[in-house]
C-alpha cells in the first residue's frame, strides 16, 4: 500500500489516501471496494471521532437538519449493530448507564454501548416489541431503523426485502410511540409502497424522504422521516375506516 495526504474530510479530519496494489490474489472488484472504503472520508472521520461506523454521520446530518433528538428523549434503535446510531442517540439525548433511555436491538452480536441497553435478538421475533418497551421503561419518543436485508444483487428483490423491514418497523413505531413522537427508517429508491406512505401520512403530521450527504451518491438508499405522531386513538379509527371501505 502507498499513502498520500488528501484534502480534509467532512468535519475537518485530514484524509490519508490509500492505494491497494494490484497483486496478492485479490480480485479487482474486491480491491476497488477496499480502496474506496479505506479512502472514504466518513470512514476516516468515524475512526478519528470514535464512532463505530460511517452510518453515524447519516443520523447526525439528519438530526442537525430536522432536530429530532433532544436530552431526556427515549429512543429505540432497530438494527443497531455495530452501534453507530446508538452512540449518536446516547450523546444527543444525554443517556447514561445510571439513567439509560436508549435501547438498541440486533440479531448480530455487538460490543456494549455505554449509556444504551442492547438486546441481541431478531426484531422480527414475536416477543421482541414487548422486550424493547420493557427495556426502555415506557413509550419511546422516537423509533430509529437502519435495518436493511442482506443484498442479493437483484435490485428489485433487495428493494422488496428492505421495504418489508421498513413496513414492520413503521407498524411497530405506530404501536408504541408517544404522541408527538418521530419515526426514521431506511428505505430504497424505487418507490416506497403506497400503503406505507398512506399510513404514515394519516398518522403523522409530516412525512419526508431524506438523503443525507453521508449517504453515498451512487447508493439507492433513502431515509423515510415521519414527524409528529398523532396518537393511537386516531390511528385505530383510521385503520377501522380503511377496513370498512375495503
Q: pLDDT digits over 141-157, tens only?
A: 999 999 987 777 777 77
Q: What is the mean pLDDT of residues 221-239?
A: 77
Least confident range of 1-15, 37-51, 140-154, 164-178: 1-15
Q: What is the mean pLDDT of residues 191-218?
A: 88
**Which residues, including other chains, have CB under 8 Å from residue 139's CB and lie 6 or more apart?**
74, 133, 176, 177, 178, 181
Q: What is the mean pLDDT of residues 40-66?
A: 84
pLDDT of residue 237: 42
Catalytic residue numbers read 186
Residue 111 has pLDDT above 90, yes or no: yes
Residues 79 and 135 in one domain: yes
Q: What is the pTM of this model?
A: 0.80
pLDDT of residue 5: 44
Distance CA(235)–CA(212), nearest Å, equals: 29
pLDDT of residue 238: 39
Of residues 104, 57, 99, the one with CA closest to residue 83 = 104
Residues 43 and 160 in one domain: no
- Which residue segment(s) compose the domain that 119 sits in? 56-237
Distance CA(74)–CA(94), nearest Å, equals: 10
Would 141 be classed as within a structural domain? yes
Would 244 be classed as within a structural domain? no
Distance CA(2)–CA(33), nearest Å, equals: 16
Residue 216 has pLDDT above 90, yes or no: no
Residues 88 and 28 in one domain: no
Q: Residue 245 has which C-alpha cell?
A: 371501505
Residues 122 and 143 in one domain: yes
- Note whether 147 and 187 are within 8 A (CB): no
Residues 128 and 24 in one domain: no
Residues 198 and 111 in one domain: yes
Residue 188 has pLDDT above 60, yes or no: yes
pLDDT of residue 106: 97
Would 196 be classed as within a structural domain? yes
Residues 8 and 94 in one domain: no
Instruction: Give the residue carrying C-alpha cell 439507492.
Output: 220
Q: What is the mean pLDDT of residues 41-49?
A: 72
Q: What is the mean pLDDT of residues 155-167?
A: 83
Distance CA(219)–CA(140), nearest Å, equals: 30
CATH label of the domain that carries residue 75? 3.40.50.150
**Which residues, including other chains, have CB under 8 Å from residue 199's CB and lie 6 or more apart?**
170, 174
Number of domains in the chain: 2
Would 112 be classed as within a structural domain? yes
Q: What is the mean pLDDT of residues 96-106?
A: 97
Would 243 be classed as within a structural domain? no
Distance CA(25)–CA(227), nearest Å, equals: 50
Residues 44 and 63 in one domain: no
Residues 156 and 216 in one domain: yes
Cα distances (Å, whole numbers) of residue 218 to 149, 174, 240: 18, 31, 41
Would 12 be classed as within a structural domain? yes
Task: Quote the DSSP letter at residue 81.
Answer: T
Summary mean pLDDT of the chain: 82
Q: What is the mean pLDDT of residues 100-126?
A: 97
Amino acid at each position: 500500500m502507498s499513502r498520500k495526504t488528501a484534502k480534509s474530510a467532512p468535519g475537518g479530519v485530514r484524509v490519508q489516501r490509500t492505494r491497494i496494489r494490484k497483486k496478492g490474489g485479490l480480485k479487482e472488484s474486491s480491491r476497488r471496494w477496499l480502496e474506496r472504503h479505506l479512502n472514504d472520508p466518513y470512514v476516516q472521520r468515524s475512526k478519528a471521532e470514535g464512532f463505530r461506523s460511517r452510518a453515524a454521520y447519516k443520523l447526525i446530518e439528519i438530526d442537525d437538519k430536522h432536530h429530532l433528538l433532544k436530552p431526556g428523549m427515549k429512543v429505540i434503535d432497530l438494527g443497531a449493530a455495530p452501534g453507530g446510531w446508538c452512540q449518536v442517540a446516547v450523546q444527543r439525548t444525554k443517556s447514561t448507564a445510571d439513567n439509560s433511555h436508549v435501547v438498541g436491538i440486533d440479531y448480530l452480536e455487538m460490543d456494549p454501548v455505554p449509556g444504551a441497553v442492547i438486546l441481541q435478538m431478531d426484531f422480527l421475533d414475536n416477543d421482541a416489541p414487548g422486550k424493547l418497551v420493557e427495556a426502555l421503561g415506557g413509550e419511546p419518543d422516537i423509533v430509529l431503523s437502519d435495518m436493511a436485508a442482506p443484498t442479493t444483487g437483484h435490485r428489485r428483490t433487495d428493494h422488496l426485502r428492505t421495504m418489508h423491514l421498513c413496513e414492520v418497523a413503521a407498524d411497530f413505531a405506530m404501536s408504541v410511540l408517544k404522541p408527538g413522537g418521530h419515526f426514521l427508517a431506511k428505505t430504497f429508491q424505487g418507490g416506497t409502497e403506497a400503503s406505507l406512505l398512506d399510513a404514515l401520512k394519516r398518522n403523522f403530521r409530516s412525512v419526508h424522504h431524506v438523503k443525507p450527504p453521508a449517504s453515498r451518491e451512487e447508493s439507492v438508499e433513502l431515509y423515510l422521516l415521519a414527524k409528529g405522531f398523532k396518537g393511537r386513538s386516531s390511528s385505530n379509527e383510521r385503520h377501522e375506516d380503511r377496513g370498512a371501505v375495503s
